[in-house]
Amino acid sequence: MVRIVIFIAINTTYVFTTTTPPPPPNTFHISHSQQWGGCGEALKAFGLGRRVESRKARVLDSSSFEYSAISCRAHSASITDYGGVGDGETSNTKAFQKAVNELSQYGSDGGSQLFVPAGKWLTGSFNLTSHFTLFLHKDAFLLASQCLSSELTASSSSSSTVSQDINEWSVIDPLPSYGRGRDAAGGRYISFIFGTNLTDVVITGDNGTIDGQGAFWWLQFHKKKIKYTRPYLIEIMHSDSIQISNLTLLNSPAWNVHPVYSSNILIQGITIIAPITSPNTDGINPDSCTNTRIEDCYIVSGDDCVAVKSGWDEYGIAYGMPTKQLVIRRLTCISPFSATIALGSEMSGGIQDVRAEDIVAINTESGVRIKTAVGRGGYVKDIYVKGMTLHTMKWAFWMTGNYGSHADTHYDPKALPVIQGVNYRDVVAENVSMAARLEGISGDPFTGICISNVTIRMAVKAKKVPWTCTDIEGITSSVTPPPCGLLPDQGPEKIRMCDFPSESLPIDTVELKSCTYASMKYL
């Protein structure tokens, strides 16, 4: 990547890499109401002293650089143009909402990009718009504000009045394919960065950080004080052509990245970090999505690193929207209590054509795991896994047909999931407690399981029986330790027998363009 940074001092000559003429002198329109919007001790009015700081920051932000994206934008702005202040205390909720509102007018005129300079930008949730790029500088931290609606903060009298006014986390409807929120029945808090019914959206940066400051939420969840489902960090619904790349995501209140009912999604170069004991901090959860590519991601979390989903029980069956054509490659996962890649447990709309390649997991509970239950319906089929390196695992292979966890008691006990065609090849694992625990459903076996070229070195304290298999059917070749009787060995010459498709998916042919951001280009 070519990086051209031009520092511009107040009242000195402007230097540009493009033919854009020098901009007019910087002017500011900062009103108190525009800057307002924090809560608790973070609530601070804006003074004149700040004005100077802001001006300085504005000028120092000036830079021009290149980055790769699915589309480039004709219009540029910095969050400081909307009165944003990156001091870690001032609320920028109004600034972000205003920025996106104003930039949305360029959707049909070449699109727009919003730059977030170095700094700590405290903000409540904000929505994205179409033909829009959010770009975070490498030293930019977007910090999720913890201001809640009055319901959650009513006990702290000092801040409740303020909270009622600002309501930084609105409550939105449950996902139709889930019928209810995951933490509580009914609605859910809107995600920190949210978008719905959009097309062509990029969230990227030079490894800038989005920090969900989730500790507060994890505590409320553990104390069972949560009235609605916790927010996710990034959720994109009903959208097409999405790129989320080159960012660090910290401490999400719950799931980190949740594309749902969407298509053509590129997720690249994301580092996700949350405490390994934090509740439900799944890394990336493609949910009822088509054509998704997840690559070069590093995830340490308190739940599955990647969880592939498609709706829950009768709600997911009725909605009927599968996740299909999903590529996951070069993923590194650390998650001691969860899976590297989980398929389910909510898979009622179906999961088909998942290709996982070059996966590394360290100190993780299991590899590519299937979770389902009677009542889920749906299917998991045509799953291909090639090249996994696993260090310190409880189970290298794990399939669970009795996961339970129902949305409510109205699920259909006759709605049996179909699990068919699950291929694993070229796996090396060490320090493993149990090679495999494969449990299908009685009367509904999981079929077409293929495992080849697998070497599992067991832990010193491994379980005596390395494989347990019930209600499954399949074949193996060149697998050690020797698999269970339900997976007969086809002989060493079949070492390459488990399928992995050679033709690429449409999402693999997406080309990134080299885009330029020049901050002094005026709107």
Ligand X SMILES: *[C@@H]1O[C@H](CO)[C@@H](O)[C@H](O)[C@H]1NC(C)=O
Query: Does 268 sit near ligand X (CB under 6 A)?
Result: yes
- Which amino acid type is present at position 293? R
Q: Please, what is the minimum distance in Å from the beta carbon of residue 173 to ligand X?
A: 9
Structure tokens at 81: 């143009």
- CB 321, CB 379: distance < 8 Å: no
Segment interacting with ligand X (CB under 6 A) among 149-157, 243-251, 338-346, 500-508: 243-251
Query: Does 149 sit near ligand X (CB under 6 A)?
Result: no
The vertex-426 CA angle with 420 and 431, nearest 5°, equals 105
**Helix ranges, 112-255 (H):** 150-153, 157-166, 215-222
Q: Which is nearer to ligand X, 276 or 418 (CB)?
A: 276
Active site residue 303: yes
Query: Does 97 sit near ligand X (CB under 6 A)?
Result: yes
Segment interacting with ligand X (CB under 6 A) among 265-273, 398-406, 412-420, 503-511: 265-273
Q: Which is nearer to ligand X, 194 or 411 (CB)?
A: 194
Query: Does 431 sit near ligand X (CB under 6 A)?
Result: yes
Cβ-proximal residues to 462 (8 Å cutoff; 6+ apart), any chain: 432, 433, 434
Segment interacting with ligand X (CB under 6 A) among 139-147, 214-222, 317-325, 428-436: 428-436
Structure tokens at 213: 């400051």
| d(C-alpha 308, C-alpha 340), whole Å | 11
- Which amino acid type is present at position 222? H
Residues 489-508 touching ligand X, rule: CB under 6 A, are 495-496
**Helix ranges, 263-394 (H):** 313-319
| d(C-alpha 279, C-alpha 302), whole Å | 6
Of 67, 82, 189, 398, which one interacts with ligand X (CB under 6 A)?
A: 67
Residues binding ligand X: what is the number (CB under 6 A)?
Answer: 31
**In terms of Cα–Cα distance, which of 168, 208, 207 is closest to 191?**
168
The beta-carbon contacts of 216-220 under 8 Å, at least 24 apart in sequence, are 216/146, 216/253, 217/253, 217/254, 218/253, 218/278, 218/279, 220/152
Query: Does 123 sit near ligand X (CB under 6 A)?
Result: no
Q: Which is nearer to ligand X, 97 or 470 (CB)?
A: 97
Catalytic residue among 183, 211, 303, 382: 303
By DSSP bridging, strand 171-172 and strand 188-189 are antiparallel
Segment interacting with ligand X (CB under 6 A) among 263-271, 376-384, 442-450, 464-472: 263-271
Q: Which is nearer to ligand X, 136 or 373 (CB)?
A: 136
**In terms of Cα–Cα distance, which of 307, 297, 369 is closest to 333?**
297
Q: Please, what is the minimum distance in Å from the beta carbon of residue 134 to ligand X?
A: 12
Q: Which is nearer to ligand X, 236 or 374 (CB)?
A: 236
Angstrom distances, CA of residue 356 to CA of 388, 460, 480:
9, 29, 21
Query: Does 207 sit near ligand X (CB under 6 A)?
Result: yes
Query: Does 269 sit near ligand X (CB under 6 A)?
Result: yes
Segment interacting with ligand X (CB under 6 A) among 194-202, 228-236, 326-334, 485-493: 194-202
Of 178, 194, 379, 384, which one interacts with ligand X (CB under 6 A)?
A: 194
Query: Does 350 sit near ligand X (CB under 6 A)?
Result: no
Query: Does 262 sit near ligand X (CB under 6 A)?
Result: no
Of 245, 251, 280, 291, which one interacts with ligand X (CB under 6 A)?
A: 245
- CB 434, CB 459: distance < 8 Å: no
Q: Please, what is the minimum distance in Å from the beta carbon of residue 85 to ligand X?
A: 19
Query: Does 400 sit near ligand X (CB under 6 A)?
Result: no
**In terms of Cα–Cα distance, which of 28, 34, 163 is closest to 98?**
34
Cβ-proximal residues to 162 (8 Å cutoff; 6+ apart), any chain: 39, 40, 43, 147
Query: Does 204 sit near ligand X (CB under 6 A)?
Result: yes
Residues 162-181 touching ligand X, rule: CB under 6 A, are 170, 172
Q: Which is nearer to ligand X, 129 or 153 (CB)?
A: 129
The DSSP code for 154 is T
Q: Which is nearer to ligand X, 172 or 396 (CB)?
A: 172
Cβ-proximal residues to 464 (8 Å cutoff; 6+ apart), any chain: none
- CB 401, CB 418: distance < 8 Å: no
Residues 438-457 touching ligand X, rule: CB under 6 A, are 453
Structure tokens at 293: 């590519």
Tell the residue number behind the tokens 């389902």, with chain if given: 372
Q: Please, what is the minimum distance in Å from the beta carbon of residue 248 to ligand X?
A: 4
Q: Which is nearer to ligand X, 207 or 468 (CB)?
A: 207
Segment interacting with ligand X (CB under 6 A) among 115-123, 218-226, 245-253, 480-488: 245-253
Query: Does 246 sit near ligand X (CB under 6 A)?
Result: yes
Phi, psi dihedrals of residue 151, rounded to the nearest 5°: -55, -40
Query: Does 248 sit near ligand X (CB under 6 A)?
Result: yes
Quickly list DSSP for 437-506.
EEE-BTTB-EEEEEEEEEEEEEPTT--SS-EEEESEEEEEEEEES---TTS-B--GGGTT-S----SPPG
Instruction: Point out which residues bind ligand X (CB under 6 A).
Output: 1, 67-68, 97, 126-127, 170, 172, 190, 194, 196-197, 204, 207, 238, 245-246, 248, 268-269, 271, 392, 426, 428, 431, 433, 453, 459, 495-496, 512
Residues belonging to the active site: 303
